[in-house]
Structure 1
Amino acid sequence: MGADAARIRLMPFQPQHAAAVGELIVSIQREEFGFDIDLERQPDLSAIPVYYQHGTGNFWVAMDEQKIVGTVALKDIGYHDVALRKMFVAAEYRGTAWGVAVKLLQGALDWATQHAVHSVFLGTTDKFQAAHRFYEKHGFALIDKVQLPAGFPFMPVDTRFYRLDLQTNTSSPP
């Protein structure tokens, strides 16, 4: 990672981040990927603390000084599992020189490990091909939709699903 990467800080979402988080996510969804979506059709973004910041879940922002340049969330879906959600990085902060995506993912996975999460699930679309490569590079395995846990927050646009196992039972049978 380049020297600029040291400027990026990861921090838990605070209410004062709400407008910038919504603007970043919706602009990427609409302008880069052509989704017909707005903030009103994503009620989780209007209630981040209630929707994400409880149990084994949380929501983080990546900051470059006072500017939000990335987001990632873990949604507690029960049974020591979480759903990875809302991972977005501003276009000008993508790539290994900045390392924003890696910092976001590693921060979320570190949190999950510290909170005894067993598996991380995620859904994405066929359009996010760079994301597919990123998740696979970081150990996520492609799974069928039928392998998702019952509590997984399925989105109609999702067509590809991944799983990363964090905790394995290492105890021997008696």
Structure 2
Amino acid sequence: MKPVIKPIENQYSDAIVDLILSIQQKEFNVPITIEDQPDLLNISNFYYAGGGGFWGAFINDELVGTIALIKFADNAAAIRKMFVKKEFRGKEFSIAQKLLDTLIEYCKENKIDDLYLGTISILEAALRFYEKNHFVEIQKEELPNAFPWMAPDHVFRHLNLKK
């Protein structure tokens, strides 16, 4: 069962919403709703229009993971919506790594040198994953002014792709 990573847009909105809300609400008890995330209902305009993207990982045509990129400056972007269904996490499938590698490859091809992300401390495995991938912790004050941060986020990471 090898995951297929491909760009996805609005036609996958229902599957994306189901996957992400289930992980946020049921698994991690994050008090967030679809109303708090209108971007998920308009992926084409929110992610692609500004030069970003949205990718899905599929196993047997089932959406099992997502990652998104919001380009907010000429050479800077934010990672968003990095989620992998519980049953498909870990080294056996390496879905998170494949999603991140796809996003980084896109950044290199599109001259995006700085990647940023915001998350919450409860997502410990995610934080370890980003650390393993050379993201360094930064303070909120160090974020670029245009960074599209979300209210629940209080842990921030940065990766310079030029190094």
CA contact (8 A) 1:63 1:70 kept: yes
| Whole-angstrom distance in 1 between the partners of 2:51 and 2:124 | 28
| Whole-angstrom distance in 2 between the partners of 1:27 and 1:40 | 14
Aligned residue pairs total 163
Q: Deviations over 1:53-76 (max 9, x none)?
A: 134310000011210000000101
| Whole-angstrom distance in 1 between the partners of 2:52 and 2:79 | 9
User: Who is 1:171 aligned against?
Assistant: none
User: Who is 2:88 aligned against?
Assistant: 93
**Contiguous gaps of at least 5 residues in structure 2:** none
Shift of the alpha carbon at 1:41? Answer: 1.7
User: Who is 2:160 aligned against?
Assistant: 165
User: Who is 1:114 aligned against?
Assistant: 109
Q: What is the aligned-residue identity percentage?
A: 39
CA contact (8 A) 2:56 2:64 kept: yes
Aligned-residue CA RMSD (Å): 1.0
What's the TM-score, normalizing by structure 1?
Answer: 0.90
User: Who is 2:75 aligned against?
Assistant: 80
What's the TM-score, normalizing by structure 2?
Answer: 0.96
| Whole-angstrom distance in 2 between the partners of 1:16 and 1:121 | 27
| Whole-angstrom distance in 2 between the partners of 1:108 and 1:60 | 8
Residue 36 (structure 1) aligned to one of 5, 14, 31: 31
| Whole-angstrom distance in 2 between the partners of 1:154 and 1:112 | 19
Q: Deviations over 1:86-119 (max 9, x none)?
A: 0000000000001100000000000001100010
